[in-house]
Amino acid sequence: MRQLWIYGQSYAGSDRARPVIDPATEQAIGEVGWGTMEDAEQAVAAAKAAFPGWRKLPAPDRTAMLHEVARKLRANLEQIATELTLETGRAIAKNCGYVEWSAQAFDYYAQISRNTRGRVIPSPEAGQLSMVLKVPLGVVAAIVPWNYPLLLLAWKAAPALAAGNTLVIKPAGFTPWTTLGLSRIFDHLPPGVVNIVSGSGSRVGDYLVTHPDVRMIAFTGSTEVGQQIMRKAADDIKHVHLELGGKDPLIVLADADLEAAARAAVWGGFLNAGQVCTSVERVYVEQSIYEPFSERVVDITQKLLVGPGIDPENEVTPMIRPSERAAVDQQVQAAVAAGAELLSGGFIPDRPAKGYYYAPTVLVGVAEHMAVMQEETFGPVLPIAPVQDFDEALARANASRYGLGATLFTNDPKKVLQYMEEIEAGNVWINDPLIDNVAGPFGGMKRSGLGRELGEEGLEDFYETKHVHWEVEGRMKSWWYPWTE
């Protein structure tokens, strides 16, 4: 059984243990301890106790420990990737990549946190020193979703720790296995610097969000829970960092490389069974190439291999749970009932016999008001709509409550220039969707989030900013009281 990890010790958790289910086999891969609010309280107390020592640790020592986290992740890459595949269903090759990228996040933030702790600014008078000083916030709660249990944790934990904060990590209910196993990756850090508490979102998660000693909530998950967290964080004016849902458009213009655009759309739509916050969720194609493009997408889709992610051949892996699959199917069937046409998929496949698969689905004849064009579809569904021109595509892409990612396929630099300025998305891709860069800030606009992970911006958010003014020469000022002496 994997246990909670608080102040460098393993605990069973105060609630009864829970099984962790492999979505490819529907079998339990093991059991985990389950935390309650009492355990969350212990974890916050541990992180609070560890904070003074961790923040004062000389930067070379702190960053050496973070490089050691990266080294241990790489040393255990295959085992961690396999565990990720067993609990998320995702393709094993992808998970190997995600362990490496997570290690890179620790190396990157260890390195850049050495560069600056603020800046010196011109002071009002000579003989004074004015500074912008960056200090850690204190205890940070990192609340993580089930689709990228390790990578999205690394994007929070690495900058938070590098800035000198201490952490309480809450993994998602479906995927606590790998995260609880990370105690062996963090066990060289001083006790309490990292604490891991599994448990329910509405109990353990909510307890962390409302705890007065938690100064920041770094959250990735659904927009609905993000909104609740932001409201609750308002009571104590906590810092929040929200990476939320998306409805990412992909625009294909007539001058684009059609083959590249079709392959990229299929990959971006069906990677991890469409359970990626930046999945391609709407495709707008210029009318003149709409038919050949749709045909090519269907052609590629129908040859995709559907099966368990542990087999490196399989391209479309299972969804996380039947409940999530039912929600996706409901959107697809509602679209069909309202007049959309299924060119591929739209059903639960007979094979593999076990596992929560959904056939990769291509829809045409979709109307903009349909849920499948408006709401996040967290599954392998690609709706394709024709547009007259680039301006219509851009307007429809922007007519969304979300603003996470967006892709344009074109070879026209003028259109690219207009698109990069006007598209309402935090992650803007041209001819190459879903590419993250550890040095490039990642995050959303509108209901897709607040704050940025990765890049220098992703470190900045884990500091409090102070303005420091120092009258070095100690001169009294003429405007101090009393004025009359």
Catalog residues that contact ligand NAD under the rule CB under 6 A: 143-148, 152, 170, 172-173, 201-202, 205-206, 209, 220-222, 225, 228-229, 243-246, 277, 376, 378, 404, 444, 449
* CA atoms within 13 Å, Cβ hemisphere of 247: 23
End-to-end CA distance of the chain: 76
Residue 267 CA: distances (Å) to CA of 36, 228, 438: 39, 32, 21
Q: How far is the CB of 29 from ligand NAD (least distance, A)?
A: 18
Q: Return the number of the residue (135 or 371) whose C-beta is nearest ligand NAD.
A: 371
Q: One of 83, 87, 277, 324 is an active-site residue; which one?
A: 277
Beta-strand relationship, 405-409 and 427-430: parallel
Q: How far is the CB of 150 from ligand NAD (least distance, A)?
A: 12
Q: How far is the CB of 416 from ligand NAD (least distance, A)?
A: 24
Beta-strand relationship, 445-446 and 402-403: antiparallel
Residue 446 CA: distances (Å) to CA of 46, 249, 395: 35, 15, 16
State both tokens at 172.
Answer: 């998602």
Q: Return the number of the residue (173 or 455) whose C-beta is nearest ligand NAD.
A: 173
State both tokens at 406.
Answer: 């967006």
- Is 277 an annotated catalytic residue? yes
Question: In this structure, how many other beta carbons lie within 10 angstroms of the beta carbon of residue 301?
Answer: 24
Q: How far is the CB of 37 from ligand NAD (least distance, A)?
A: 12
Cβ-in-10-Å burial (0-12, 13-18, 19+) of 320 comes to buried
Angle in degrees, CA 260, 261, 265, rounded to 5: 120
Q: How far is the CB of 355 from ligand NAD (least distance, A)?
A: 19
Q: What DSSP state is assigned to residue 205?
A: I
- Is 96 an annotated catalytic residue? no
Q: Return the number of the residue (225 or 362) whose C-beta is nearest ligand NAD.
A: 225
Q: How far is the CB of 207 from ligand NAD (least distance, A)?
A: 8
* Cα–Cα distance, 298 to 360 (Å, whole number): 10
Q: One of 83, 87, 243, 376 is an active-site residue; which one?
A: 243
Q: How far is the CB of 352 from ligand NAD (least distance, A)?
A: 23
Q: Return the number of the residue (5 or 390) whose C-beta is nearest ligand NAD.
A: 5
Q: How far is the CB of 328 from ligand NAD (least distance, A)?
A: 12
Shortest CA distance to 72 belongs to which of 184, 208, 232?
Answer: 184
Q: Return the number of the residue (6 or 152) whose C-beta is nearest ligand NAD.
A: 152
Q: Return the number of the residue (223 or 410) whose C-beta is nearest ligand NAD.
A: 223
Q: How far is the CB of 217 from ligand NAD (least distance, A)?
A: 8
Per residue, what are the HEC states of 387-408? ECCHHHHHHHHHCCCEECEEEE
DSSP E strand boundaries for 388-460? 402-403, 405-409, 427-430, 445-446, 449-450
- Contacts made by residues 303-307, CB under 8 angstroms, sequence distance 24+: 304/266, 304/270, 304/360, 306/349, 306/351, 306/352, 306/357, 306/359, 306/360, 307/24, 307/352, 307/355, 307/357
Rg for the chain, CA atoms, rounded: 24
Contact 217, 240 (CB under 8 A): yes
Q: Return the number of the residue (203 or 263) whose C-beta is nearest ligand NAD.
A: 203
The owner of tokens 């909510």 is 206
Q: Return the number of the residue (91 or 143) whose C-beta is nearest ligand NAD.
A: 143
User: Could you tell me which residues come within 8 angstroms of residue 378 by beta carbon, excluding any fewer than 6 positions away?
Assistant: 147, 274, 275, 279, 324, 327, 328
Q: Return the number of the residue (229 or 425) whose C-beta is nearest ligand NAD.
A: 229
**Residues labelled as active-site residues:** 243, 277
